Amino acid sequence: MKPFTYVAPTSLQEAHQVLARAKGPGDVRALVGGSDLIDQMRVNRRTPSVVLDIKRIPEMKRLEWVPGEGLHVGAAVCCTDTVQFAAVVQNYSSIHESCQLVGSTQIQNRASMAGNIGNSAPSADTVPGLITFGAKVLVTGPRGHREVLLESFFTGPGQNVLAPDEIIQEVIVPPPPANSSGHYLRFIPRNEMDIAVAGVASMIVLAPRTRRCTTARIALASVAPTPVRARAAEAVLEGKEITAALIREAGEKAVEAASPISDVRGSAEYRRELVKVLTRRTLGMCMESLGQKVG
């Protein structure tokens, strides 16, 4: 492991001073749970000269539901606290589901959504659900704040739009639309502690007391260099009565957004098949949650 300096500032201002001295991409790396970062440093996959522990900064611990604004999850909030937060339980099933899939109870007690996002793996489980709800990340640094739509955040495996002097301060999830439901499923070869072979989050909005879909959002994990939206599948659903046949068609279309690789976890062909199945299942779960069982 390359030698590094550990700093644990207690204010955003102090963190900004550390970030201002960043010598280039990855020179200063934020640390929350360390469940990705520490092992990556051990094998020299990430070689920061400064590790910036953000857990003592009050703004990073924000966990709040603001009516009209939505959910604010500070970067240092662990998955366990997110899962137990009432607004997450009530309003965002897919986020509730995905945070409970990250590793194990022990991992969830340390790991954060911001770390899942900052690590920027295509397999990140918390990301597809967040994308379907139109989540943004609030980015902070010595040059100020900016908001980035999560679906535009990732630029490649392990890569994102953050500048060397920027970190995530919080994840902001807009309030869910009325009469909406979202769910996330992933496939792994065993029950837990594995990385998704493929993952799908779906979110649909129905016109009141009907099966007519007004909005559909579908996002995929582990089947492209970054998490991706399956826009063609969304278009199949929007403006139409949701039926079992339409859900099957959406599953077929979702594959258009996938450009999977073959690796030890599964072949590209297998992953494409999983996208179809998981899209169908998550859409069926959304309909069921809205009291409109299909097929």
Question: Does residue 280 sit in helix, strand or coil?
Answer: helix
Whose Cβ is closer to ligand FAD: residue 32's or residue 150's? 32
User: CB-based contacts of 147: which residues, under 8 Å, 6+ apart?
Assistant: 136, 137, 138, 139, 172
Interactions with ligand FAD, residue window 16-45 (CB under 6 A)? 29-37
Which of 80, 91, 112, 222 binds ligand FAD (CB under 6 A)? It is 112
Q: Does 109 bind ligand FAD (CB under 6 A)?
A: no
Q: Does 110 bind ligand FAD (CB under 6 A)?
A: yes
Q: Does 163 bind ligand FAD (CB under 6 A)?
A: no
Q: Does 286 bind ligand FAD (CB under 6 A)?
A: no
Question: Does residue 104 sit in helix, strand or coil?
Answer: coil
Q: Does 73 bind ligand FAD (CB under 6 A)?
A: no
83 DSSP 8-state letter: H
The CA distances from residue 8 to 14, 22, 53, 277, in Å, are: 9, 16, 5, 44
17 DSSP 8-state letter: H
For residues 260 and 198, is the Cβ–Cβ distance under 8 A?
A: yes
59 DSSP 8-state letter: G
131: left (phi over 0), alpha (psi -120 to 50) or beta: alpha
Q: How far is the CB of 267 from ligand FAD (least distance, A)?
A: 21
Interactions with ligand FAD, residue window 183-222 (CB under 6 A)? 193
Nearest residue to ligand FAD by CB is 115
Q: Does 77 bind ligand FAD (CB under 6 A)?
A: no
Tokens of 47: 């070689």
DSSP string, 183-247: EEEEE-SSSSSS--SEEEEEEEEE-TTSSBEEEEEEEEESSSSS-EE-HHHHHHHTTSB--HHHH
Whose Cβ is closer to ligand FAD: residue 51's or residue 242's? 51
Q: Does 164 bind ligand FAD (CB under 6 A)?
A: no
Q: Does 223 bind ligand FAD (CB under 6 A)?
A: no
Which of 88, 131, 138, 167 binds ligand FAD (CB under 6 A)? It is 167
Which of 100, 109, 119, 292 binds ligand FAD (CB under 6 A)? It is 119
Q: Does 125 bind ligand FAD (CB under 6 A)?
A: yes
- Binding residues (CB under 6 A) for ligand FAD: these are 29-37, 46, 54, 75, 101-103, 107, 110-112, 114-116, 118-119, 123-125, 162, 167-168, 193
